[in-house]
Amino acid sequence: MKSVFISGSIAIKELSSEVINSFDKIVSQNIHVYVGDADGIDTLAQNYFASKSYTNVTVCTIKEHPRNLASNHFNIQQVNYDKNLKSHREQQTFKDEFMTTHADYSFVIWDGKSKGSFTNIKRAFEQEKKLKIYYMKLDRYLLKDELIPSNIENIYKSNTGYTPSEIVAKIKASNIYTNISKVSELKEWMISHKIFKCDKNKVEVNSNYKDYFIVENYRGTQTIKYKKDVLDLISENSIFRINS
């Protein structure tokens, strides 16, 4: 019997018509479904299959009882995890690894931002599983030639940004000649070129350059992530570049 691991972003609140059509095909072909117990896509998928009275579904959880369970007719699989781990995300990874391994293919409904979904996609590549991705931002399935690790990485980073240390690493690996070799020097460069501005020790992005960054605010803490185009900005403002 064929099987599929369905996963996706917690932030997604409804299923698109294309995803519903795919779910209908799963039902018509009696494909076994592995799905988690989180909010978002996990719960949406569970609710959809329950509404169709489709019970060829296994809900995987690390708990004694799933956090979300749409039907008592679904199978429940408790997955063991390393009890020494403190991170909830790391604990949940054991459940996702189980489903990737036991399913024939992975079906991911992705917003491009979810780290958990990104990790599931990478794992599918590593295990050479068949892969299907519905990308919410484009409102379509990714084409076969788009289902490659480098493109998935670009999608993820275009939505979440690069950390300062990742940008410094890219500068070192490129032919850009600057005096930037560590994060503190990157910050100084941004300030000296008036890309960042400091106000009472708080760093902010100059409005003229806001399209080069992803600024997140969480519980009063601001995080500045870099888009890949920042490398072009640094290159254009460098004295010269080493010829490749």
What is the CATH code of the structural domain delimited by 3-160? 3.40.50.450
pLDDT tens for each residue of the chain, 244 residues long: 799 999 999 999 999 999 999 999 999 999 999 999 999 999 999 999 999 999 999 999 999 999 999 999 999 999 998 888 878 788 899 999 999 999 999 999 999 999 999 999 999 999 999 999 999 999 999 999 999 999 999 999 999 999 999 999 999 998 887 889 999 999 999 999 999 998 777 899 999 999 999 998 877 778 999 999 999 999 988 754 444 4
- CATH 3.40.50.450 in the chain, residues? 3-160
Residue with tokens 């930037």, as numbered in its chain: 180
- CB contact at 8 A, 225 and 160: yes
Say which DSSP state 2 is in.
-
Residue type, 72: N
Per-residue pLDDT, 242? 45
Per-residue pLDDT, 244? 42
